[in-house]
Structure 1
Amino acid sequence: MTDEKFPPANNLPAGYVPPKVWTWEPGNGGQFASINRPTAGAQTDVELQVGKHPLQLYSLATPNGQKVTILLEELLEAGHQGAEYDAWLINIGKGEQFGKGFVDINPNSKIPALADHAPKDGGAPIRLFESASIMTYLAEKFGAFLPSEPRARAEVLNWLFWQMGSAPFVGGGFGHFFSYAPMKIQYAIDRYAMEAKRQMDVLNRQLADNEFVAGKEYSIADMAIWPWYGRLALDTSYPDAGTFLSTHEYDHVLRWAKQLAERPALKRGVMVNKTSGPLAEQLHERHDASDFLTKTQDKISEA
């Protein structure tokens, strides 16, 4: 029976008709096909390493990973020495997020994941997954970057969760089809480009009247939003995405993105667990503040 509303000849690939029941086939997923699966749970028995600090982070410098390392470096910059941490590299391209130790912390097998071995109640370690959960926990633990006044706190959380709900359309939607999919699909790119630009407009309007996203104070909302939308505004996210989306038009986002990019703690935070780009900007693991001076990949290559 021919579908008159959606003729198969117009599908991509031409003639494709969705089956009544979807089944997984190796190769689905474009660039990430080698690690994508339709099931959860551990695939290997690999345990996680534990360093000397109470806070143990297992991550990669994707935008979601950078949110947490920016916050940790900002906490240290602000004098919270209890925020010292070990950052262990989880190479998602090699499927390390499916090791048993990682899955024990994050059953969803996504970075970042964090274990606090010195929680305030003195009890067993606390596991944390989902970047917003980690950031809220750390902000509350150290009493920083999340206001206590109810209205200001609510505004920060509004924008933190706006980012969590919106960014998948930018990353898994626009970014995937623009940069990673095995073919260029105009419908998908148009659909997600429109949504990415709408979100940039939302943020631009908010920043027109506010120095920072949630108002007058720098907060975890800024730290969560910058790796996604700040980098997009600065055209340092997906190759050529800034040009394609005309992100220079969002002048208030661009002002904010440049302002945050000059913060020393943010500069350090985006380097942690980074495995691409200039070697001087890659710190695969971070176990001490001095590592930024002695253990970036350019220093290791020279040794």
Structure 2
Amino acid sequence: MIELRGLTKRFGDATAVDDLTCTFRPGVVTGFLGPNGAGKTTTMLMTLGLQRPTAGTAHVDGRRYRDLPVPMREVGALLDARAVHASRSGRNHLLALALSNGLPRRRVGEVLELVGLAAVASKAAGTYSLGMSQRLGIAGALLGDPPVLLFDEPVNGLDPSGIAWVRTLMRDLAAEGRTVVVSSHLMSEMEQTADHLVVIGKGRLIADTSLAGFLAERSSSEVLVRAAGAGFADTLRAAGATVAEHVSGELLVTGIDAYAVGKLALASGTVLTELAPRRSSLEEVFMAMTAESVEFSGGASR
């Protein structure tokens, strides 16, 4: 478990993390989300003792990272997939980590097999693609078989099958009772992977809740309708619904649910060719929630 209490980091006049208090719990995949510059990486660095907080604390199972006797047995982290000695082989990179942390040599082979790099383990890490480097970084995080894991953008550079593999791996690790924290800008992937969300903006906590609760509380419900013939939109409006009509013939209906739409169609003798409830995606809700926290935004195209 990771506990942050009043965690704050200032760089001169700039505040990167602002009085952040939250808990990352075991047994679930927690998506750690926020726009660029929100303070996610800085928070991870402070948790790992790589930056000193201006105020507050970051504890792993009740202790500061620097007080852990064998840190890699307690916490595994992937922050920068390219942070390896370029001329050292993938196997020797992991072996150096293992030997310097008192971990058994056999563990190197185990994690190489787990991440799918056994066949290329003798090649220089500098020749690896970004996707291969991500797999090597994940192997390093898992080397000490730790109960707490932090992953910063672990699917960058991976192909669809690799992304699906990471998704399954994260969920399997959480199912074993580990604390799994994943930072990513791929909202569609987080929607399929995370159980819980911690969302920050400009260093401040915006939300700390389950994925289901986040979507249920903040998303809007619509019903997508296609009707044979004209006039059904007026029927829906007369029943109190709000209807947006599209050139393609789609009706986006809010204010009543799909069951009520179906009853109206039956009563009016309207044939429906499509009737589908639709909720806002995590990406849509996230963008609406963090709109005021975006550090860089482009102008409209011309």
What is the TM-score normalised by the length of structure 2? 0.31
- Determine which structure has greater relative contact order: mean sequence separation of CA pairs < 8 Å that are 6+ residues apart, divided by chain length: 2
- Greater helix fraction, Structure 1 or Structure 2: 1
What is the TM-score normalised by the length of structure 1? 0.31
